[in-house]
Amino acid sequence: MNSLAERLDKIKVIVNEDSFYNQQSLGGELNFHIFDYEPKDELIIRKFIKTFVENNSYANSKIRPVAFDLFEMILDILNSRKAGSNTILDLSIQKEEKEGVDKLIKAISGILKPESFIKIIQEQIQDKNLVILYGVGKAYPIIRSHTVLNNLHAVLDNIPVIMFYPGQYDQKELNLFCGSTFEGLKDDNYYRAFRL
């Protein structure tokens, strides 16, 4: 089995190949990829994404990535909406403190629909040719990764997507937080992405 460093280095090679951007090479399948990793490696993954995006943010770069942290997106969505003089984010923090996470999730589910995330991604794609999604563990259970992917494929049919997933993906099931020290949580079935 390859080490995490070797697998991350391989991403750099794969995304530099022309075939990565050519959907025909996938037999008509979506150009969606999931890079699963041990949850304990979260900080390594975040550093890799930050460096990868920075290293490919120059004019005329072949790879033009844009990265989205799902949890930061949640905060942005809640902070952009108001109820009276307070933001929904402020009210959400108060609700969680008073009533707990379950009641909070139920209360904000109408605001945090997949369409809200898709809209942000669409607005920020511009001239980008690679979408990176991460922060899956931080966003759980408020938003589920497969929900975003299921809705994203309708608007990103030509742009490759890489989701960094803290757990295991076997091209059938997503098991969140699954690693050497924890059995994980069954997130859901998802068949439309390739394991990277």
What pLDDT, in 10s, does the model give residues 61-105? 889 999 999 999 999 999 999 888 999 999 999 999 999 989 999
- So what's the pLDDT on residue 145? 84
Q: What is the pLDDT of residue 26?
A: 55
- Containing 47, the helix (H) or strand (E) segment is helix 42-55
Give the per-residue pLDDT at 148: 87
Q: What percent of the chain has pLDDT over 70?
A: 90
Over residues 46-62, the mean pLDDT reads: 92
Q: How many residues does the chain have?
A: 196
More confident residue, 153 or 49: 49
DSSP 15: T
Q: What is the pTM of this model?
A: 0.90
Helix axes 114-125, 70-79, angle to 10 degrees: 100
Rounded CA separation 25/96 (Å) = 47
The residue assigned the tokens 């990868």 is: 52
Residues contacting residue 3 through CB under 8 Å, at least 6 positions apart: none
pLDDT of residue 108: 92
Instruction: Classify strands 161-169 and 173-176 as parallel, antiparallel or unpaired.
Output: antiparallel
Q: In the chain, what percentage of residues exceed pLDDT 90?
A: 53
The average pLDDT across 134-160 equals 86
Q: How sure is the predictor about 144, in pLDDT bands with cuts at 50, 70 and 90?
A: confident
